[in-house]
A and B are shown apart, each in its own frame.
Chain A
Amino acid sequence: MNRRNFLRISSFTAGAWLISDLIPLASDARDRAGVESFMPNPLIRIQSDGKVILYVMKQEMGQQVDTSLPALIAEELDVDPQRVQVETFAYDAAIAGRYNTYASASIRSSWQTLRKAGAAARTMLMNAAADVWQVSPEDLKTENSKVINPVTGASLSYANLIEKASNLKVPDNPVLKDLKDFKLIGKKNKRTNIKKILGGKQEYGIDVRLPGMVYAAVVRSPVFYGKIQSWDDSALKKLGPGILQVVPVSQMGNGVDNRNGVAIIATNTWLAFRAQQLLKVEWDLGAIPNSSTVALSAALKKAVSTEKPVLQFDSKGKASFFSKITDLKAFKATYELPYLAHLAMEPINCTAWYKDGKYELWGGFQAPGAFANNLSKAFGLDPSAIFVNLLPMGGAFGRKEKVDNAAEAMQLSKATGKPVQVVFSRADDTKNDFYRPASFHQLTAVADKLSISNWRHEVGIATFPAKNISSAQDIYGGPANDLCYPVNDYQSAFYAVESPVPIGSWRSISYNHNVFAVESFIDELAKRLLIDPVDFRMNLFKNGFDENNGKTKHMQRLQTVLQKCADAIHWKQKPLLKRFRGIACCQYTHTDAYTAHAFEISVSPEKAITIHKVVCAIDCGLIIDPDGFRAQVEGSLVWALSAAIKEEITITNGQADQQSFFDHDVMRLREMPPFELIIVESNENPGGAGEPAVPSVAPALCNAIAAATGKRIRMLPLIKEGYTI
């Protein structure tokens, strides 16, 4: 064996914790020519040339896991940050689900495992050095990729310890650093791959170029279950020889979620898009339930007022019955929220190459697990027959959990025998989305200034397909099954209404519905009870939860952010003339994060809103990458304001009416208000950062509008109510 190409992979049997938590055996254990490498575990490669390669298993979509996750390993490994190279961990069908990246879970689910991975490697290197020097490893320390003997001043670089270390056992319980000794965690770390982005060299799925590759655009069924009756491609002739083929695409069930369609294969994307405009397809659209926004809205309201709920909760969890409040003193309010699309800047696309019974794919995917679990079944293949080159996503926000694009590219590559890149035009992307479902909320409560005795939250929500309870779960915006305020008699109920369009995850999932309704209603109750809305919330917190149900700590953390937020916007002092304030908070239980937003605004008689200031206070536990974390909270504000003020998908004949940024505007730079962010210092376990700062934005703004105008916002977006920004 050529010694220089020798790859030393440790016996993983000793590191059982790593295998069970995270990884595979040696998935990316490729030999690299010219250097000797030591892989104490699959996420770390220490090379004889001094370079250390750290692998990232989670998918990059702007949340900067390419910086935060390697920092967790590097911290414990004590590696020289200048010599670290970050690479994506190659796809392995056997563990495909572990690449899934959603629910703001990357850090909170793997932070200890990654630290252990680094610490285990460091321990092995120290033990190797101890053996060389014949001293006890406890007497040694590590720094900048070196093991140091503080007594003699001698040092050995990690690169020189590869051979010895690779013969050692991987420790079961490596000692982790104390929080106070962190050098990378919680500090500003250099973003590893930023130069690629800045130089235009970052390769997204849509940038893949392969030899002999052809481009495809698909005319898809305007409704999800539509079937092709016939098509006429005679108008395509005038586009010349660049149009190569017209190929039907079949809908595949089984979690693949693509539509029936007719694809045009062309020599470039532009030509494929032009042909898409000229191709005529006759569809059998079938029966579409609640096929317009108006019909759906009526159906949601009717379900809440006349039907029995399909699911109900009380303070202990799922309940067997639901009873409405009949007390005449009860206060009632309703709120309505529209469908929302994602519109990630990189439109949906995928590239596939079918060769010798196997598929190779290129693209950005939030849920690579679907390749092994759904696509392979749909295509009748062993999961190992699909390999995906996982690329960073140009935005995702929940949309790229789907693999409809992969199914199309795979079918088309098989049909043409060529590598095919399917690109959704912007209109395709908007009209073939998996939308944040529309919902209707009815809240009823009996309350006084000090407490809420009875609380009911009834949610009517659009589910797909059919009245499907499984899709009614909180992933897509299902029932409120929890309330952050202590209430004596709590119940919530869920009513399903068949959606005309498919639904999916949308950044901050059920919380963006439920927190909007709850926090608007709390504000309304306070107004009605003639108490300040912050004081009212604080009074409610004082009632406390039953010590046994574990909610007390959550409530305290929420209370802290609310107080800090109120203080920062000077809640107790009167604002300037004609300025008004609103506040709201969100206990994002899913990811252990707690947020409050406050707005100071004025509203002109013409309903033009001026936002003078926004404050956000957030407790997300220990912060690994503070700059990346800030970026997430800043981005959440833009995202949430965009939805609150401007965004809506309306439905006609079972199809989305909107197609692009000209009929679906989003938040612009000049519209962003002055923003103050307060991060609560915490040594609690890290929470998730991507979503929790979204839900409290809209109710805080709408509570400020209610303060300014006396008018309660019962429906979003605000432009629909005549407001402008």
Chain B
Amino acid sequence: MAKYTLIVNGIEQGVDVDPAMPLLWILRDELNLTGTKYSCGVGVCGACTVLVDGQAFRSCQLTAAFASGKKITTIEGLSDEVTHPVQQAWEELNVPQCGYCQSGQMLAAAALLSKNPKPQDSIIDQVMSQNICRCGTHYRIKKAIHRASEIAAKKG
């Protein structure tokens, strides 16, 4: 066991965990932040995506040592009143079906937009094809990223 200080959604949290325990499970089972989802556990589906210093990472592949001291953003901390442009666009276009993969989708989209505020289809295809959705919200995700880009531009 080892002690780490994690900064999750702006709040410093001390944890005492096995150094090999992935961030996904620290968030879910230690900190009860269950918005970050488990689906494959091996970094291939994207359901557990979180932001670390603004970049999208698969939390099932991160250790506490890596994340320690960096700014971790989970879906619970993406915005205060579900007002991030991505969340607004997701709501406008009613993107989610079951919703389970959507926190990972939204964080991946938020990271994409922060780097590339007006992404072309080809970039969206490339980035968002790394996240799996079984309900089939693919079309709406693509539209919603363009819409989020517009909303963010208006907000300035």
Q: Is the interface of A mostly helix, strand, loop or mixed?
A: loop
Across the interface, name the chain A residue whose C-beta is closest to B142: A669
Also in contact, A346 and B98, with CB within 8 A (given A209-B34, A270-B29): yes
Q: Is A30 an interface residue (CB 8 A)?
A: no
B98 contact set on A, CB distance < 8 A: 60-62, 344-346, 392-396
B138-A667 in contact (CB<8A): yes
Q: Is B153 an interface residue (CB 8 A)?
A: no
B29 contact set on A, CB distance < 8 A: 215, 268-270
B37-A346 in contact (CB<8A): yes
Q: Is the interface of B mostly helix, strand, loop or mixed?
A: loop
Q: Is B25 an interface residue (CB 8 A)?
A: yes
A660-B42 in contact (CB<8A): yes
Q: Is B91 an interface residue (CB 8 A)?
A: yes
Q: Is A179 an interface residue (CB 8 A)?
A: no
B136-A639 in contact (CB<8A): yes
A195, chain B: closest CB distance, angstroms: 5
B102 contact set on A, CB distance < 8 A: 197-198
Across the interface, name the chain B residue whose C-beta is closest to A661: B44
A198-B136 in contact (CB<8A): no
List the one stretch of A247-255, A297-305, A562-570, A630-638 in contact with chain B.
A630-638
Across the interface, name the chain B residue whose C-beta is closest to A67: B94
A269, chain B: closest CB distance, angstroms: 6
From A200, A270, A395, A670, give the contact of B135 (CB < 8 A).
A395
Which of A198, A199, A204, A346: most chain B Cβ within 10 A? A198
A206-B38 in contact (CB<8A): yes
Within 8 A of B (CB), among A200-249: 200-204, 206-207, 209, 215, 240, 242
Also in contact, A672 and B138, with CB within 8 A (given A345-B100, A346-B98): yes
A529, chain B: closest CB distance, angstroms: 36
Across the interface, name the chain A residue whose C-beta is closest to B133: A345
A343-B134 in contact (CB<8A): yes
Also in contact, A198 and B138, with CB within 8 A (given A270-B21, A270-B25, A661-B40): no
A666-B132 in contact (CB<8A): yes
Q: Is B114 an interface residue (CB 8 A)?
A: no
A627 contact set on B, CB distance < 8 A: 94
1/0 per position for B126-140, CB-CB distance to A under 8 A? 101101111111111
Cα distance A638–B140 in the bound complex, in angstroms: 12
1/0 per position for B63-91, CB-CB distance to A under 8 A? 00000000000111010001000010011
Q: Is A32 an interface residue (CB 8 A)?
A: no
B140 contact set on A, CB distance < 8 A: 631, 634
B116, chain A: closest CB distance, angstroms: 16
A183 contact set on B, CB distance < 8 A: none
B111 contact set on A, CB distance < 8 A: none
Which of B42, B100, B139: most chain A Cβ within 10 A? B100
B131 contact set on A, CB distance < 8 A: 669
Q: Could you say which interface size class chain A belongs to?
A: 35 or more
Cα distance A395–B132 in the bound complex, in angstroms: 12
Q: Is A671 an interface residue (CB 8 A)?
A: yes
A268-B21 in contact (CB<8A): yes
Also in contact, A635 and B135, with CB within 8 A (given A203-B34, A392-B98): yes
Also in contact, A198 and B90, with CB within 8 A (given A426-B39, A668-B129): yes
Across the interface, name the chain B residue whose C-beta is closest to A662: B44
B25-A669 in contact (CB<8A): no
B138 contact set on A, CB distance < 8 A: 634, 638, 667-669, 672
Q: Is B8 an interface residue (CB 8 A)?
A: no
Cα distance A634–B124 in the bound complex, in angstroms: 19
Also in contact, A347 and B137, with CB within 8 A (given A269-B25, A669-B142, A670-B129): no
1/0 per position for B35-53, CB-CB distance to A under 8 A? 1111111101101000000
B39-A209 in contact (CB<8A): no
From A393, A425, A639, A661, give the contact of B132 (CB < 8 A).
A661
From B41, B75, B141, give the contact of A199 (CB < 8 A).
B75
1/0 per position for B9-40, CB-CB distance to A under 8 A? 00000000010011011001110111111111
Also in contact, A394 and B75, with CB within 8 A (given A191-B94, A269-B38, A426-B39): no
Also in contact, A634 and B38, with CB within 8 A (given A270-B22, A661-B132): no
B76 contact set on A, CB distance < 8 A: 199-201
A669-B134 in contact (CB<8A): no
From A195, A270, A426, give the contact of B82 (CB < 8 A).
A195
A204 contact set on B, CB distance < 8 A: 100
Cα distance A426–B100 in the bound complex, in angstroms: 14
Cα distance A662–B58 in the bound complex, in angstroms: 15
Q: Is B99 an interface residue (CB 8 A)?
A: yes
B134 contact set on A, CB distance < 8 A: 343-345, 395, 397, 639, 666
B100 contact set on A, CB distance < 8 A: 204, 344-346, 394-395
Which of A269, A631, A669: most chain B Cβ within 10 A? A669
B132-A199 in contact (CB<8A): no
A197 contact set on B, CB distance < 8 A: 96, 99, 102
Also in contact, A669 and B39, with CB within 8 A (given A198-B90, A207-B34): no
A670 contact set on B, CB distance < 8 A: 125-126, 128-129
B106 contact set on A, CB distance < 8 A: 198
Cα distance A687–B101 in the bound complex, in angstroms: 28
A628 contact set on B, CB distance < 8 A: 94
Across the interface, name the chain B residue whose C-beta is closest to A631: B97
Also in contact, A345 and B45, with CB within 8 A (given A634-B136, A669-B128): yes
Q: Is B149 an interface residue (CB 8 A)?
A: no
Within 8 A of B (CB), among A308-355: 343-347
A64 contact set on B, CB distance < 8 A: 97
Q: Is A273 an interface residue (CB 8 A)?
A: yes
B128 contact set on A, CB distance < 8 A: 669-670
Within 8 A of B (CB), among A342-379: 343-347
Cα distance A637–B136 in the bound complex, in angstroms: 8
Q: Is A675 an interface residue (CB 8 A)?
A: yes
B136 contact set on A, CB distance < 8 A: 634-639, 667
Measuring CB to CB, which residues of chain B are less than 8 angstroms from any residue of chain A?
1, 18, 21-22, 24-25, 28-30, 32-42, 44-45, 47, 74-76, 78, 82, 87, 90-91, 94, 96-103, 106, 124-126, 128-129, 131-142
25 A-B residue pairs with Cβ-Cβ distance under 8 Å, sorted by A, are A63-B97, A191-B94, A194-B91, A199-B76, A200-B76, A201-B35, A204-B100, A240-B1, A242-B18, A269-B25, A270-B25, A344-B134, A345-B45, A346-B98, A394-B101, A395-B134, A426-B41, A636-B136, A637-B136, A638-B135, A638-B136, A660-B42, A666-B134, A669-B128, A672-B139
Besides A199-B76, A206-B34, A207-B34, 5 more A-B contacts (Cβ < 8 Å) are A62-B98, A200-B103, A268-B21, A668-B132, A675-B139
Closest 5 A/B residue pairs (Cβ): A200-B35, A394-B100, A638-B136, A62-B98, A635-B136
